[in-house]
Structure 1
Amino acid sequence: MVRHFLDVEGAATLPTDSLLMVERAVTDLLAVQAMGTVHGSAGLGKTYAVEQALTRAVIDGRAGRAPCWVKFPSRPTMRLVAAALLAELTRVPTGRGNRFVLTEQLLEELAPPPGGGGHVVVVDEAQSLNTECIEYLRYLHDHKATRFALLLVGGDGNWKVLSREPMLRSRIYRRVSVEPLTPAEVVRFIPTYHPLYDGVDGELVLLIDDHFAHGNLRHWAAFTKTAATLCAAAGTDRIDETVARNAFTLHGGGTAA
């Protein structure tokens, strides 16, 4: 099961346009084993949307194999990328081989299986990669011996790297830019996000968004976690302005836009 930020009990998955577009993009990438990217500012639900889409794909049998997730420290070397990817794919710690030895092993591991259904490789926080490392992933993906879907998930810096390189940019089959919720989307979706907001006036929901959340789903999760605790202490199951302003205080008065 995909986890909500802070494990907010009772939180629902919001069928936002971004979430639906990520699910469509993942479906398309799996169908043709292509390369894609999902990017946007922190806290907008990029990783959550990808996890949910891939979970459904595994359940439906469209993913073939369990997705391989990797994340790297800032500015890793190509050898580190190769070693981490191989270890995640094989579930076996890599030895001391150099990048070229590891690459040969990766090419074998990423070869299409006889029955179809190749690997799905997801690189989270891909903005930490430099151009050389992203080019290395592109090399693995384009190699005639391999066939797998490759999805780069990260901040807007991820797209800046890709868009600077024509060879990389031209290979992106699906690109989804995840944006903050608009005020109209906040009023539409937040009342269904958690029972605390059921039946709450839209003006109060917009006050919370304007003063604290700014269309950011991670901010909404943090606020909801705090508000749920305050409501429980007050013996109420629905948020009001007093609870909202007390929650603002507990979060330092609000969150900068």
Structure 2
Amino acid sequence: MAQASGVVLPAGAQAVHTVSVRAVAEAVGQAMAAEGAACVFGDAGRGKTVALRMALSDPPVGWSVSWARVPVRPSVSELRRAVFEALTLAGRFPHRSAEADERIIGALGQARVLVVDEAQRLPVPCLEYLQSLWDHPQARMALVLCGAGSERAVARVPQLASRICAWQEVGRLAAGEVAATVPAFHPLWAGVADGEVAWIDQSCTHGVFRTWAALTTHLQNALLSVPDASVDRALLRRLFRRLSPPV
């Protein structure tokens, strides 16, 4: 295992965009060391959530990780419930917001990374609510906001933006990274020549990890349905058409 800023990278980290996983691990490690906040952003499909899950799969001793996924433009009450559920607190969600917050703060009194995925969905009052949890004197937490456009959402709350100790962008796979990343992602690509992988990336996936994942699923299904099928350009071109809408 490799270690970056206190976050241990699992041995399989190379199966995802390695540069991104390591950079995300370093950003989260900085936030944990400072009990601060980090923002992981980048265009849709770049593998942000995957990189973040890999980076947090083996947190340092004494730390726990909670993931809160929020609906589109939630109210503060909906976000409060999402955080409550992410912390897996015992009992039913309290009717009184003050009681719910008291229990949430109690759970955040132990070292914890609170990850809010799809943070770009959060309106200003929700971001201010997260800041209030993080600012609470009893809280021992690192707040990680992740999502395509999350950096723009955070920028709408200057008090929160000024507290971000690590901004980490996850970009496209560079041409030189594709040949190393894709075969490690799934064994289907292990026997495909580097030149063919480059052709697939130029023709279809364009360095977007999510597109590579979707193509892998389609290819796997095609090979299962036709056991003697070969991975050739005719098959791949047919699968490419499933990955984009008709024009």
Q: Normalising by the residue count of structure 1, what TM-score does the alignment of the two structures yield?
A: 0.80
For structure 1, list consecutive stretches of 5 or more residues without a partner in the other structure. Answer: 1-11, 113-117
Report the counterpart of residue 140 of structure 1 in structure 2. Answer: 133
Contact 2:47 2:210 in 1 (8 A): yes
CA distance in 1, matches of 2:144, 2:228: 45
Q: Percent identity?
A: 32
8 Å contact 2:178–2:197 — kept in the other structure?
yes
Counterpart-to-counterpart distance in 2, 1:137 and 1:155? 18
Within the candidate set 193, 196, 216, 1:224 is matched to 216
Matched residue, 1:106:
104
| Alignment root-mean-square deviation, CA | 2.4
| Structure 1 residues 191 and 108: alpha-carbon distance in aligned structure 2, compared to 1, 3 A threshold | closer
> Which amino acid is the alignment partner of residue 13 of structure 1?
A
- For structure 2, the residue ranges without an aligned partner over 5 or more in a row are 1-13
Letter in 1 for 2:152: K
Q: 1:230 to 1:85 in 2, by over 3 A?
A: closer
In 2, are the aligned partners of 1:39 and 1:154 still within 8 Å (CA)? yes
1:103/1:208 CA distance change after superposition, 3 Å: same
Matches within 5 A, 1:78-117: 78-89=76-87, 90-97=89-96, 99-112=97-110
Residue aligning to 2:8: none
- Please state if 1:178 is matched with 2:170: yes
Contact 2:41 2:170 in 1 (8 A): yes
How far apart are 1:169 and its partner, in Å?
1.2
**1:5 match:** none
| Cα distance in 2 between the residues matched to 1:93 and 1:219 | 40
- What are the equivalent positions in structure 2 for 1:115-134 lying under 5 Å apart? 118-134=111-127
Paired residues of 1:231 and 1:243 also in contact (CA < 8 A): no
| Bigger strand share | 2
Paired positions, count: 232
Query: In the alignment, does 2:206 pair up with 1:207?
Result: no
Question: Shift in Å at residue 230 of structure 1?
Answer: 3.1
What is the rounded CA distance, in whole Å, between the counterparts of 1:234 and 1:129 in structure 2? 46
Q: Tell me the equivalent position of 2:11.
A: none
- 2-structure distance, mates of 1:63, 1:51: 17
1:64 lines up with 2:62 in the alignment? yes
